[in-house]
Each structure stands twice: as C-alpha cells, then as structure tokens.
Amino acid sequence: QSHHMTDLFIKGPDALKLLSDLGINNFSNFKPNMAKQFVAVNHEGYLVGDAVLVYLEEGLFDLVGWHMVIDWVQYHGETGNYDVTFERDASSAVRKGDPLQYRFEVQGPVAEKLMEKVSSIPVEKTKFFGMLEFEIEGRRIPAIRHGMAGQPGFEFWGPWEDYDLIRNAIIEAGKEFDLKLVGSVAYSTANVESAWVPSPTPAIFTGKETEEYLKWLPASRMGSIAGSFDSDNIEDFYNTPFEIGYGRLIDWDHDFLGREALKERAEQPQRTKVSLEWNAEDLAATQRTLYEEGTPAKYITFPKARYGLYQVDSVTKDGKIVGISHDAGYLTNEQAFISLASIDTEFAEPGTEVVLVWGESPVSTKPAVEPHRQVEIRAIVQPAPYSRFARESYRKDS
C-alpha cells in the first residue's frame, strides 16, 4: 500500500474543527491513537468521498485515501478561517521521489498469529478500526485493525527508510504461515469482496461553491467517468452517503457542511448498496465476442474491470434503470465475478435478477476506450459484503 494512496497530514490548533466541520462523522469522543472512516458531502448533501482518518497526536491527523475527499478538505482548510497547515504525500503515480512512509497490510485468517510472532510486544485485542502498536526490529509501529479482503487484518506504517527492514522481517516470519505477497493487481479486487466502493463519482461539479473549488482543483485530479450509464445531468451520477452504505456514520448532533440538505435527502427514497453476481454464461459470451466476427463487446479486464476512475454502469429491471453498478472484479476465493451497486430498495432483496448494461453507447469518445458494442449481462442481487465471513463475523461489530 506504500504507493497507491495519498496521505494528507493536517496540523494545527484548528485541525479537528476543520474535520468536524466537513465530516458527517461523530467527533465527540475522537482522541489521539484512534481512527475512523471519514466521509464528507457537498452543500447539497451529495457524497464527495471518503478516506481513513488517523488521529496521530494532539493537533495532528493523517487523512489517507483517494484524492477526492482529500482535495475537498485541503481546499476548505486553505480557503476557510482555519489555523492549519498541510503536508501532502501523493501517490507514486504523481509524486516525484520516494514516499514519506511505507504502508503495509497483512490480511487473512492467520494474520494475527503472524503479527504475534514478528512483534516483540503482545498484539492487543481491538475491534475494526481500533488502533494498536507493534514492535518490529526495535521500531514501534502504529497500526489499525483493518481489512480489505473480508478477513481480519492489520494496516501499519512507518518512515520510508525502514521499508526493507520491516518488510523483510514480516516475510521471514511469514514463511511459517505460508504468507503470500500480493501485488497491486490482486489487491485491487479486495474492496469488491469487502464491499467498499473506492471511487463513487464525487459531487464536486455542480452546486454551491463548486465553481471556486474547480478553479482551485488541478484539472488532472478531476477524474474520468466510464460505463454505460448516460445522462446530460451530472447530478444523476452523484450518490448520497446512504446509497454507498455510509448512513450509519452520520452524526446529526453536530453541524457539518451539507447537514440540512442531507437531512432532507434522508427523508426521500434511497437506493441500497448490494453486490451483483454476474451470470457466468453471459460473462463468457461477452468475452467470446473478442473471437467472433463483428464489433466485440467492451473488453472485460481480469481481475478488475473498471476502466475509468468513476465506473458507472446502468442496472435495469424489465428495461427500466433501477440503479448503477460502481466497481467490478473477479473474486478468486468465491470463484465469482461481482460488482458493487446501488439499486432501488424494492429490487435489493438477495436473489432478485437484474440486468447490467456493459459498454458505452452509441460510440465512446474516450481515446483510451476501444470500439465496442453494448451487451446485457444478467446478474443476481447478493448481500454486500459478498463474503459471508465478512458480513457475519469480521465486520459485525464495526
């Protein structure tokens, strides 16, 4: 994880106030050595994005994740009346030189046993997103009880100069447990299994203050939309926190940007986050078009099929659009190809058959998207997370 996410270090006497003013979360008991999933909405109550927020020490936070919500926080900190400073460590895709720190994640049913072996201090028991410490090769290392593969796990970090020292110690200890080193391709599918939507379309293109915000935001960070869903109104691509599964995180007892608009949206019909299990025959037929005469279907990349930063595919029932599919990939543990979707609640019951429209129509204007034709792929609604262990054991107390 050392290369693919952005870290925004927020420091100053107003750092917590800034985060509380923007985040929908409860901050009343937030203290150093705690972490949470930070979620922000725009003035109209639509989702901007989410990231992991770590309270490092008094007046110092690390916001880790995709750049969408990180940009939003930095903009308001720089343009608002806040006594804060920022240090940004962008992903390796855009940063020059080494990261400021390494970030590792150990996942799986024996992750705790492995870390107990490699750490010279006991591994504390803590719930999902609880913080603890390891000591490896004489280094005290902060960690979060976190998981991205539907199994128990730990995410931990330290100064970049310790990268090889800590990594080698974990690999050596992991031999006993048949530790597998997973690269970025396999890692990219973990969110699909655990039901985290990594990059829903951020609500930054319309609404109050967005004109000023887009002037501040570098064009390279605005992102690209891909998928079969089509509308002339960009707000049709937006989501509310409820539709992505973040309704449980809202703290109505504090004032935050977009609170009143979000409260009004809470009274309206909502879509529900689900998993869609793609029909194996339709999936195979789609891939087979690559070897048949005529224009093929949009190429489905394995193990992750997203081809835009914001993947937005239409989900239909009896020819009517009932939702959108966000992110799709193959789960080797489940031997299934699934996507995460937000669909009308009346169709969210597990076992419901829907249709996912794959490919853009009539012709994509994106230079990186090959000529193709749209196809329909049947899918069965399943719970999110798809993994039964993740639903019933791993995250039940989160």
Q: State which residues form the domain around 346.
A: 224-237+269-394
Distance, in Å, from the CA atom of 248 to the CA atom of 25, rounded to the nearest integer, reads 9
- Counted domains in the chain: 2
Distance, in Å, from the CA atom of 172 to the CA atom of 3, rounded to the nearest integer, reads 22
**CATH number of the domain to which 366 belongs:** 2.40.30.110
Q: Binding site: what residues are annotated?
A: 155
CB atoms within 10 A of CB 193: 27
pLDDT of residue 92: 84
Does the predicted model carry a pTM greater than 0.85? yes
Distance, in Å, from the CA atom of 384 to the CA atom of 35, rounded to the nearest integer, reads 23
pLDDT of residue 338: 97
- Looking at the fold, whether 57 and 153 belong to one and the same domain comes out as yes
In a domain, 200, yes or no: no
- Looking at the fold, whether 170 and 278 belong to one and the same domain comes out as no
- Looking at the fold, whether 155 and 300 belong to one and the same domain comes out as no
pLDDT of residue 148: 66
**CATH number of the domain to which 124 belongs:** 3.30.1360.120
Pair of tokens at residue 365: 């204007």
Q: Binding site for substrate: what residues are annotated?
A: 155
Mean pLDDT by runs of 10 across the 398 residues of the chain is 90 98 96 95 98 96 95 98 96 88 92 95 87 95 80 90 97 95 85 91 96 94 93 96 96 97 94 97 97 96 93 97 97 93 97 97 83 96 82 51
53 close to 65: Cβ distance less than 8 angstroms:
no
In 3D, which of 250, 274, 269 has the Cα closest to residue 260? Answer: 250
Pair of tokens at residue 220: 């390279």
pLDDT of residue 229: 96
**Residue for token pair 């029909």:** 279
- Looking at the fold, whether 231 and 164 belong to one and the same domain comes out as no
- Looking at the fold, whether 150 and 228 belong to one and the same domain comes out as no
162 close to 171: Cβ distance less than 8 angstroms:
no
In a domain, 213, yes or no: no
- Looking at the fold, whether 274 and 359 belong to one and the same domain comes out as yes
- Looking at the fold, whether 38 and 170 belong to one and the same domain comes out as yes
- Looking at the fold, whether 25 and 105 belong to one and the same domain comes out as yes
pLDDT of residue 149: 60
- Looking at the fold, whether 315 and 382 belong to one and the same domain comes out as yes
- Looking at the fold, whether 287 and 159 belong to one and the same domain comes out as no
The three-point CA angle 342-344-347 to 5° equals 105
